[in-house]
């Protein structure tokens, strides 16, 4: 009896210890439902922006290989919106693809492109941005920003709106085009608007209710760490530092890695003397509380719009050294030791030219900057070959110094900017430990799409010319190029359904990054030896639209909500330059860099509608 008592006591102590361990694990707010789902169905899903919360973007699928790429064909496609920007990621769960534009959110069958449901958002604010980098998926719910400063939660099965929370103020230029990140019952979201003097921030929300849990401002003020780097303290209030890409999470340390954008005004750094923390930085926050843990600033006192917007990549070397790698519009991939915070390497992945210390009224050439370098899709880790593979834009710009004039929500760069010459792109693979370039490929047009390496030895990428590119991951040999019919500027993912590997991608884009083909926003699905000829899914209810909606879809990304983002083409002065008939004629046959939309994307009625709106609104 005594020995049985001892045994019972020992069992109870073990049970208590186990329960305590489980309770401690559950108490950590940052769990990983997404990671668990991925482990239970390896390679079959694509559940977050970069597949994994650590940003690696690698797929373990092996069916597509260098030996069978010639058998890849289109299975289906579906148009999801009218002419607008389509930069969004694609998410895949249980045979369904989820994606979105500024106004539309859709669920389509991952093998047939049949439309499951469509949610159309009607703005509640006069100001609306069409830009969106994507959504987050967790526990049967989708989370996304709206173009008028809201965070939305949708039922992933039906598209029904579950809740809506106002998280930003469009009236002062704040925007919610970033891709949220969701884990452990929490949704993390960034606020953008650097180019109009909005003060960036990161927020965390309860996934069930939309209640705000914490916030962190990326531009410090008062007693905040880094406030002294704004030597004219008043300029911090309009300091920029927006978040307009995606974030990365280490679930083991509860660290949230946030890429932060440029300071305002973009070009005139004398207006805001100092190093301007935390602009152009990777900021690392405690995901449970929002407390600042550490940071790494890439470009202090920036005057060339050298944002960081792509999500960082987390990995570990053979010596158990934890590394974060990231890339920005300066054209470099940078790796940093997460413990010492020291730089390990800094490798250019596009053309980089030395620039002077500041802009001048006469103009300064800079390569890259503004719409150059690495945009919202950054490095991917090829775990088979220990390389980081990155797409980039090769384009130079002329920056002219002007006069900053802050007006809430209005566009003013503190100067003007215009592209120089033709835009090309690069896909570059570098050693993930040394930064040595292993291979590189010059693309016909800028490479903005996601880059996806796979265990089959294939790396997928796409350019703004609409070219899907398939590389041998080890050598960089371009094995095949396929024309998709529209600029590729968003997600490019791979998944399996019933043991068969598919790839899917965003095709079609109209935005200020449209340096190649255009095309209507569509989801395209491909697989090896498709069973039949390509099928076209049911379009998501696209029909005639008003001039106001067309402006929000097509024009606002270049001209801005107030019509004055392009200094020498301000729409507020349009009537002094052209009458209505001349405006219609110009839209039909524009000069560079304005893209040609007629007649492929906009017909006569649409152009007449948008021209009439320009004269009415501006």
pLDDT confidence of residue 557:
65
> Could you report the per-residue pLDDT of 278-295, keeping only the tens digit for each?
999 999 999 999 999 999
What contacts 302, CB < 8 A, 6 or more positions away?
262, 263, 269, 276, 279, 280
3-state class of 36 per DSSP? helix
pLDDT confidence of residue 36:
37
Residue 552: DSSP 8-state: I
User: How sure is the predictor about 512, in pLDDT bands with cuts at 50, 70 and 90?
Assistant: low
User: How sure is the predictor about 572, in pLDDT bands with cuts at 50, 70 and 90?
Assistant: confident
- State the fold for domain 548-617: Cytochrome Bc1 Complex; Chain D, domain 2 (1.10.760)
The answer to whether 311 touches 245, Cβ cutoff 8 Å, is: yes
> Could you report the per-residue pLDDT of 258-283, keeping only the tens digit for each?
999 999 999 999 999 999 999 999 99
List, in sequence order, every residue forming a beta bridge with 382; answer none if it has no partner: 387
d(CA 498, CA 383): 25
User: How sure is the predictor about 567, in pLDDT bands with cuts at 50, 70 and 90?
Assistant: low
pLDDT confidence of residue 514:
67
User: How sure is the predictor about 34, in pLDDT bands with cuts at 50, 70 and 90?
Assistant: very low
pLDDT at 445 over 80: yes
Q: Report which of 101, 174, 85, 184 is spatially closest to residue 135, judged by C-alpha positions.
A: 101
The answer to whether 325 touches 312, Cβ cutoff 8 Å, is: yes
pLDDT at 554 over 80: no
- The domain limits of the chain are 33-73+84-94+124-462, 548-617
User: How sure is the predictor about 516, in pLDDT bands with cuts at 50, 70 and 90?
Assistant: low
The answer to whether 125 touches 102, Cβ cutoff 8 Å, is: no
Percent of the chain exceeding pLDDT 90 equals: 74
pTM: predicted TM-score of the whole model, two decimal places: 0.88
The answer to whether 556 touches 128, Cβ cutoff 8 Å, is: yes
73-93 average pLDDT score: 95
User: How sure is the predictor about 39, in pLDDT bands with cuts at 50, 70 and 90?
Assistant: very low
pLDDT confidence of residue 10:
44
> Could you report the per-residue pLDDT of 161-205, keeping only the tens digit for each?
999 999 999 999 999 999 999 999 999 999 999 999 999 999 999
pLDDT at 452 over 90: yes
pLDDT at 520 over 80: yes
Q: Cα-flanking dihedrals φ and ψ of residue 359, to 5°?
A: -80, 165
pLDDT at 510 over 50: yes
pLDDT at 17 over 60: no
Architecture of the structural domain at 33-73+84-94+124-462: 8 Propeller (2.140)
- Tokens at residue 374, please? 């690495």
Cite the beta strand spans of 56-211 per DSSP E.
Answer: 72-79, 91-93, 96-100, 104-109, 115-120, 136-138, 141-145, 150-155, 161-166, 181-183, 186-191, 201-206
In the predicted model, what is the mean pLDDT of the chain? 89
pLDDT at 218 over 90: yes
How many residues does this entry show for the chain? 618
> Could you report the per-residue pLDDT of 93-139, keeping only the tens digit for each?
999 999 999 999 999 999 999 999 999 999 998 877 888 999 999 99
């Amino acid at each position: 009896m005594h020995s049985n008592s001892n045994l019972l006591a020992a069992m109870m102590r073990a049970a208590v210890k186990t329960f305590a361990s489980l309770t401690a694990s559950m108490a950590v707010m940052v769990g990983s439902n997404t990671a668990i789902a991925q482990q239970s169905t390896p390679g079959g899903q694509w559940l977050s922006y970069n597949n994994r919360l650590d940003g690696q973007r690698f797929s373990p699928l092996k069916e597509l290989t260098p030996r069978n790429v010639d058998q890849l064909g289109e299975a289906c496609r579906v148009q999801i919106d009218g002419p607008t920007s389509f930069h969004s990621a694609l998410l895949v769960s249980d045979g369904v693809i989820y994606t979105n534009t500024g106004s539309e959110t859709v669920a389509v069958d991952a093998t047939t492109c049949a439309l499951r449901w469509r949610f159309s958002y009607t703005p509640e604010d006069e100001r609306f941005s069409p830009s969106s980098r994507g959504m987050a998926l967790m526990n049967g719910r989708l989370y996304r920003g709206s173009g008028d400063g809201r965070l939305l939660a949708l039922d992933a099965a039906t598209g029904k709106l579950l809740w809506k929370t106002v998280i930003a103020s469009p009236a002062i230029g704040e925007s919610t085009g970033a891709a949220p990140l969701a884990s452990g019952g929490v949704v993390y979201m960034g606020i953008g608007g650097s180019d109009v003097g909005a003060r960036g921030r990161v927020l965390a929300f309860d996934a069930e209710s939309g209640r705000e849990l914490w916030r962190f401002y990326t531009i410090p003020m008062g007693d905040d760490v880094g406030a002294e780097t704004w030597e004219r303290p008043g300029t911090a209030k309009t300091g920029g530092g927006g978040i307009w890409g995606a974030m990365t999470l280490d679930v083991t340390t509860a660290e949230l890695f946030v890429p932060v954008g440029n300071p305002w005004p973009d070009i005139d750094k004398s207006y805001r003397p100092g190093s301007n923390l935390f602009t152009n930085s990777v900021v690392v926050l405690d995901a449970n509380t929002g407390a600042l843990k550490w940071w790494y600033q890439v470009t202090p006192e920036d005057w060339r719009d050298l944002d960081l917007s792509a999500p960082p990549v987390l990995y570990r070397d053979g010596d158990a050294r934890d590394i974060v790698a990231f890339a920005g519009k300066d054209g470099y991939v940078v790796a940093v030791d997460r413990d010492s915070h020291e730089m390990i390497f800094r490798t250019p992945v596009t053309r980089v030219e030395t620039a002077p210390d500041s802009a001048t009224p006469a103009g300064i050439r800079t390569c890259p900057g503004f719409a150059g370098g690495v945009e919202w899709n950054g490095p991917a880790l090829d775990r088979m070959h220990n390389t980081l593979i990155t797409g980039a834009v090769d384009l130079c710009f002329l920056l002219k110094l002007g006069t900053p004039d802050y007006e809430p929500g209005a566009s003013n760069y503190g100067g003007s900017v215009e592209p120089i010459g033709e835009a090309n792109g690069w896909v570059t693979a570098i050693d993930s430990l040394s930064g040595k370039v292993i291979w590189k490929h010059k693309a016909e047009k800028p490479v903005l799409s996601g880059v996806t390496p796979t265990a089959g030895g294939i790396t997928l990428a796409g350019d703004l010319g609409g070219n899907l590119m398939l590389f041998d991951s080890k050598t960089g040999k371009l094995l095949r190029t396929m024309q998709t019919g529209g600029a590729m500027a968003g997600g490019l993912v791979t998944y399996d359904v019933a043991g068969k590997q598919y790839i899917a991608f965003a095709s079609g884009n109209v935005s200020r990054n449209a340096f190649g083909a255009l095309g209507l926003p569509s989801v395209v699905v491909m697989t090896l030896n498709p069973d039949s000829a390509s099928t076209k899914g049911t379009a998501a209810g696209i029909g005639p639209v008003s001039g106001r909606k067309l402006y929000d879809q097509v024009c606002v990304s270049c001209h801005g909500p107030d019509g004055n983002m392009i200094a020498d083409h301000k729409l507020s002065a349009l009537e002094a330059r052209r009458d209505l008939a001349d405006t219609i004629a110009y839209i039909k046959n524009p000069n560079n860099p304005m893209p040609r939309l007629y007649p492929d994307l906009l017909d006569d009625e649409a152009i007449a509608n948008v021209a009439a709106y320009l004269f009415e609104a501006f």
